[in-house]
Amino acid sequence: MERFLIIKNIYKKIHIHFLYYLVALLAIITGLFKDFIIFSLLIIIHELGHIFIALYYRWHVEKIIILPFGGMTIFKEHLNKPIFEELMIVIMGPAMQHLFYLLAMNLKPNFLLMNYHYTILFFNMLPIIPLDGSKFLNLISNLILPFKYSHLITIYFSFLVLIGIILFKINNLVVLLILIFLTIKVISEYKNHKYIFNKFLFERYLYRFNFKKSKVIKGIKLALMHRDHFHFFKVGNSFIKERKILEQKFDNSNDLW
Amino acid sequence: MIKGLIKDLFSYDFIGDKMDEEIKLIKEKIKQKRNYHKPINESKSNLTDIFLKHVNRILVVVLITLITLIFLKGNSSFWEVFYKYVYDNNFSFAKINELYQKHFGSPIPFKNLLNDKITPVFNEKLKYYEVSKYKDGARLVVDDNYLVPVIETGIVIFIGDKDEYKNTVIIQQSDGVDVWYSNLTNINVKLYDYVKEGSLLGETIDNNLYLVFKKDGTILDYKEYI
pLDDT over 60 at A257, yes or no? no
- Is B11–A17 a contact, with Cβ atoms under 8 angstroms apart? yes
Better pLDDT: A6 or A84: A84
The residue among A227, A155, A146 whose CA lies nearest residue A187 is: A155
What is the C-alpha to C-alpha distance for residues B156 and B178, in angstroms, rounded to an integer?
Answer: 10
pLDDT of residue B41: 56
Residues A7 and A114 in one domain: yes
Q: Are A188 and B17 in contact (CB under 8 A)?
A: no
pTM: 0.81
Residues B26 and B65 in one domain: no
Residues A166 and A146 in one domain: yes
What is the C-alpha to C-alpha distance for residues A9 and B189, in angstroms, rounded to an integer?
Answer: 41
The CA distance from A184 to the nearest CA of chain B, in Å, is: 7
Better pLDDT: B18 or B42: B18
- Is A184–B104 a contact, with Cβ atoms under 8 angstroms apart? no
Structural domain boundaries, residue B76: 46-88
Please write the tens of the pLDDT for every residue from B3-41: 666 666 665 566 677 778 888 888 888 888 777 666 555
Rg (CA), chain A: 21
- Does the residue B212 lie in any domain? yes
pLDDT of residue B44: 55
Distances (CA, A) of A6 to A10, A60, A92, A202: 6, 10, 19, 29
pLDDT of residue B10: 61
Residues A180 and A218 in one domain: no
Residues A13 and A82 in one domain: yes
pLDDT of residue A100: 96
pLDDT over 80 at A79, yes or no? yes
Instruction: Please report residues of A whose CB lies closer than 8 A to that of B192.
Output: 31, 33-34
The answer for A58, left when phi > 0, alpha when psi is -120 to 50, beta otherwise, is left
Structural domain boundaries, residue A27: 1-123
Domain's final residue, options A103, A123, A143? A123
What is the C-alpha to C-alpha distance for residues A145 and A80, in angstroms, rounded to an integer?
Answer: 15
Q: To probe the interface with B, which of A43, A170, A172 has the most B CB atoms within 10 Å?
A: A172
- Does the residue B93 lie in any domain? no
Task: Indicate the number of domains in chain A.
Answer: 3
Residues A9 and A110 in one domain: yes
Please write the tens of the pLDDT for every residue from B75-115: 888 888 888 787 777 778 888 888 898 888 888 888 888 88
Domain's final residue, options A87, A108, A123? A123
The CA distance from A52 to the nearest CA of chain B, in Å, is: 25
Please write the tens of the pLDDT for every residue from A152-161: 999 999 999 9
What is the C-alpha to C-alpha distance for residues A145 and B223, in angstroms, rounded to an integer?
Answer: 74
Please write the tens of the pLDDT for every residue from A217-249: 998 888 999 999 989 999 988 999 988 888 888
- Does the residue B56 lie in any domain? yes
- Does the residue B186 lie in any domain? yes
Instruction: Please report residues of A whose CB lies closer than 8 A to that of B194.
Output: 31-32
Residues B158 and B220 in one domain: yes
Better pLDDT: B12 or B157: B157
**What is the DSSP pairing of strand B194-195 with strand A238-241?**
unpaired
Q: Please report how the helices B46-74 and B76-83 are oriented relative to each other, as an axis angle in degrees rounded to 10.
A: 110
Q: How many residues does chain B have?
A: 226
Q: Which residue among B9, B93, B193 sits closest to A30, beta carbon to beta carbon?
A: B93
A48-74: average pLDDT: 91
pLDDT over 70 at A1, yes or no? no
Q: Which residue among A33, A111, A184 sits closest to B192, beta carbon to beta carbon?
A: A33
Instruction: Please report residues of A whose CB lies closer than 8 A to that of B112.
Output: 115
Please write the tens of the pLDDT for every residue from A91-111: 999 999 999 999 999 998 888
Instruction: Please report residues of B whose CB lies closer than 8 A to that of A31.
Output: 93-94, 96-97, 155, 192, 194
Residue B23's SS3 state is: helix
pLDDT over 90 at A147, yes or no? yes
Domain's final residue, options A104, A123, A142? A123
Which residues contact residue A203 at a Cβ distance below 8 angstroms, ignoring those fewer than 6 apart?
A78, A79, A80, A209
CB-side neighbour CA atoms (13 Å) of B199? 16
pLDDT of residue A101: 96
Please write the tens of the pLDDT for every residue from A177-225: 999 999 999 999 999 999 999 999 999 999 988 899 999 999 888 899 9
B179-190: average pLDDT: 88
Please write the tens of the pLDDT for every residue from A12-51: 889 999 999 999 999 999 988 999 999 999 999 999 999 9
- Does the residue A257 lie in any domain? no
Task: Indicate the number of domains in chain B.
Answer: 3
CB-side neighbour CA atoms (13 Å) of B16? 8
Which residues contact residue B17 at a Cβ distance below 8 angstroms, ignoring those fewer than 6 apart?
B7
- Is A174–B107 a contact, with Cβ atoms under 8 angstroms apart? yes
Residues A98 and A173 in one domain: no
Residues A141 and A227 in one domain: no
pLDDT over 70 at A58, yes or no? yes
Residues B157 and B186 in one domain: yes
